[in-house]
């Protein structure tokens, strides 16, 4: 069917195996289970396609992601709500306080709401930085470390040291999700 439909398997750029039995040495088994198939017609156009193995985060399976015609976005990063903010007992009270104390007025009700939301977003960002510091940078650093150890495991296999390092990073990432 793959040949008949003229499909092409996109190789991953950072390794081969997407599954392993999490063992080292002669007991290790590693296979490529996941694939992205594209028609030759798409590949014959000026389209950039890249498949990359993602972090398994302790799982025996590492998913892969495909990027198609990736373009750099030079705009600002969008605001993202972070769930762990809700675990802080002050958060909801602060948001309510900022909302009720806001004095912004727009050209109509919807414009006023838009301006208030923009002001709340700014205050949340400031509060986040004061309350949690650079937790996002710390998380990104851990994710980079995890990527490096996963890459070593993909290319060189598992050993006790890599397993321990992977476990340490997973624990620290899990702490940041709580």
More confident residue, 146 or 137: 146
Distance CA 56, CA 146 (A): 9
Most confident region among 15-29, 51-65, 100-114, 155-169 by mean pLDDT: 100-114
- Beta carbons within 8 Å of 174's beta carbon, 6+ residues apart: none
pLDDT at 102 over 70: yes
- Domain boundaries along the sequence of the chain: 7-74+136-177, 83-133
Mean per-residue pLDDT, 110-138? 86
Q: What is the pLDDT of residue 141?
A: 86
CA proximity to 13, closest of 154, 139, 149, 141: 154
More confident residue, 53 or 133: 53
> In whole angstroms, how far apart are CA 120 and each of 45, 104, 126, 175?
45, 11, 10, 27
Q: What is the pLDDT of residue 117?
A: 93
């Amino acid at each position: 069917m793959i040949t008949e439909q003229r499909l092409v398997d996109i190789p991953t750029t950072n390794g081969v195996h997407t599954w392993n039995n999490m063992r080292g040495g002669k007991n290790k088994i590693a296979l490529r289970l996941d694939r992205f198939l594209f028609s030759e017609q798409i590949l014959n156009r000026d389209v950039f396609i890249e498949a990359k193995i993602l972090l398994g985060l302790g799982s025996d399976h590492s998913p892969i992601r495909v990027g198609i015609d990736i373009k750099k976005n030079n705009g600002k990063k969008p605001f993202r709500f972070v769930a762990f903010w809700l675990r802080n007992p002050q958060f909801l009270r602060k948001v309510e306080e900022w909302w009720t104390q806001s004095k912004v007025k727009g050209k109509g009700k919807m414009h006023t709401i838009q301006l208030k939301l923009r002001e709340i977003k700014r205050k949340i960002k400031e509060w986040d930085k004061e309350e949690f510091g650079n937790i996002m940078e710390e998380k990104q650093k851990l994710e980079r470390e995890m990527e490096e150890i996963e890459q070593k495991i993909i290319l060189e296999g598992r050993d006790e040291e890599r397993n321990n390092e992977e476990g340490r990073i997973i624990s620290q990432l899990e702490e940041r999700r709580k």
